[in-house]
Chains A and B, each alone.
Chain A
Amino acid sequence: MFIVKFVFLHFVCLLQREREMALRNIMGKRVRIGLMGRRLLSTATCDVESGNSKSINLYSAINQALHVALETDPRAFVFGEDVSFGGVFRCTTGLADRFGKARVFNTPLCEQGIVGFGIGLAAMGNRAIAEIQFADYIYPAFDQIVNEAAKFRYRSGNQFNCGGLTIRAPYGAVGHGGHYHSQSPEAFFCHVPGIKVVIPRSPRQAKGLLLSCIRDPNPVVFFEPKWLYRLAVEEVPEHDYMLPLSEAEVIRQGSDITLVGWGAQLSIMEQACIEAEKDGISCELVDLKTLIPWDKETVEASVRKTGRVLISHEAPVTGGFGGEISASIVESCFLRLEAPVARVCGLDTPFPLVFEPFYMPTKNKILDAIKATVNY
Chain B
Amino acid sequence: MANWGRISSRTIGNHIRKRTNQGFIGSTVDINPSSGSSSALNGGRSVSDQNRRYLNPLPWSRATLSWFQRFKSTVAAKQHDSFLSSDSDDDHLSLDFPGGKVSYTCDMNFISESSQARVPCYRVLDDDGELIKDCDFQQVSKEVAVKMYSKMVSLQIMDTIFYEAQRQGRISFYLTSAGEEAINIASAAALTEQDIILPQYREPGVLLWRGFTLQEFADQCFGNKADYGKGRQMPIHYGSKEHNFFTISSPIATQLPQAAGIAYSLKMDNKKACVVSYIGDGGTSEVSTLTISYFICLLQFAHGYPNCFLQGDFHAGLNFAAVMEAPVIFFCRNNGWAISTNVSEQFRSDGIVVKGRAYGIRSIRVDGNDALAVYTAVSAAREMAVNEQRPILIEALTYRVGHHSTSDDSTKYRQLDEIVYWKNARNPVNRFRNWVQSNGWWSEQEETQLRNSVRKQLLEAIQVAEKTEKPPLSDMFTDVYDYPPPNLEEQEKHLRETISRHPTDYSSDIPL
Contact = CB atoms under 8 A, between A and B. Distances in A.
Interface stretch (B142-150, B330-338, B439-447, B479-487): B479-487
Interface in A158-197: 158-161, 163, 193-194, 196
Interface string B429-445: 00000000000000000
A143 interface: yes
Nearest to B220: A157
Nearest to A115: B257
Nearest to A123: B262
Contacts of B313: 112-113, 116, 143-144
A194 B477 CA distance: 11
A211 B233 CA distance: 33
Nearest to A154: B479
A218 B228 CA distance: 20
A364 B462 CA distance: 68
Given A155-B232, A156-B228, A293-B485, A112 B240 contact: no
B261 A159 contact: no
A119 B198 CA distance: 13
A113 B316 contact: yes
Contact of B320 (A113, A122, A246): A113
Contacts of A160: 239, 241, 246-247
A226 interface: no
Nearest to B246: A160
Contacts of A118: 261
Contacts of B320: 107-108, 110, 113, 116-117
A40 B100 CA distance: 49
Contacts of A158: 230, 478-479
A250 interface: no
Q: Which of A144, A154, A163, A296 has the most CB of B within 10 A?
A: A154
Nearest to A112: B316
A266 to B, nearest CB: 23
- The contact size tier of chain B is 35 or more
Given A116-B256, A117-B261, A151 B317 contact: no
Interface string A126-163: 10100000000000100110011001111111111101
A124 interface: yes
B251 interface: yes
Nearest to A147: B251
A217 interface: yes
Contacts of A151: 249
Interface stretch (B44-52, B177-185, B286-294, B392-400): B286-294
A194 B315 CA distance: 26
A46 interface: no
A159 B260 contact: no
Interface stretch (B9-17, B166-174, B264-272): B264-272
A196 B481 CA distance: 9
B294 to A, nearest CB: 12
A120 interface: yes
Contacts of A110: 287, 289, 315-316, 319-320
B191 interface: no
Contacts of B459: none
B254 interface: yes
Contacts of A154: 232, 479-480
Interface string A93-120: 0000000001001011010110111111
Given A110-B287, A120-B258, A158-B478, A148 B312 contact: no
B118 interface: no
- The contact size tier of chain A is 35 or more
A124 B265 contact: yes
Interface in A277-326: 293, 296-297
Contact of B266 (A108, A124, A152, A296): A124
A120 B249 contact: no
B85 to A, nearest CB: 26
A323 to B, nearest CB: 16
Given A121-B265, A293-B487, A116 B257 contact: yes
Nearest to B242: A159
B264 A120 contact: yes
Contact of A157 (B232, B317, B480): B232
A265 B28 CA distance: 67
B485 A246 contact: yes
B237 interface: yes
A153 B316 contact: no
Contacts of B486: 293, 296-297
Interface in B37-75: none
Contacts of A116: 254, 256-258, 260-261, 288-289, 313, 316-317, 320
A157 B239 contact: yes
A121 B264 contact: yes
B281 interface: no
Contacts of B227: 157
B323 interface: yes
Contacts of A128: 261
Contacts of B237: 155
Contacts of B254: 116, 143-144, 147-148
Interface in B481-512: 481-482, 485-487
A159 B316 contact: no
Contacts of B262: 120-121, 123-124
B228 A157 contact: yes
B259 interface: yes
A105 B266 CA distance: 17
A217 B227 CA distance: 24
Contacts of B316: 108, 110, 112-113, 116-117
Contact of A140 (B265, B312, B478): B312
Given A110-B319, A112-B312, A218 B481 contact: yes
Interface string B266-301: 101000000000000000000111010000000000
Contacts of B487: 293, 296
A154 B479 CA distance: 5
Q: Which of B232, B247, B266 has the most CB of A within 10 A?
A: B247
Contacts of B265: 120-121, 124-126
A204 to B, nearest CB: 25
B288 to A, nearest CB: 7
A192 to B, nearest CB: 10
Given A105-B324, A113-B319, 8 more contacts: A108-B316, A116-B257, A123-B262, A157-B232, A158-B479, A160-B247, A218-B481, A218-B482
11 contacts: A113-B319, A116-B313, A116-B320, A120-B265, A123-B262, A124-B266, A152-B247, A155-B239, A159-B228, A159-B240, A246-B485
Interface of A: 75, 102, 105, 107-108, 110, 112-113, 115-126, 128, 140, 143-144, 147-148, 151-161, 163, 193-194, 196, 217-218, 246, 293, 296-297
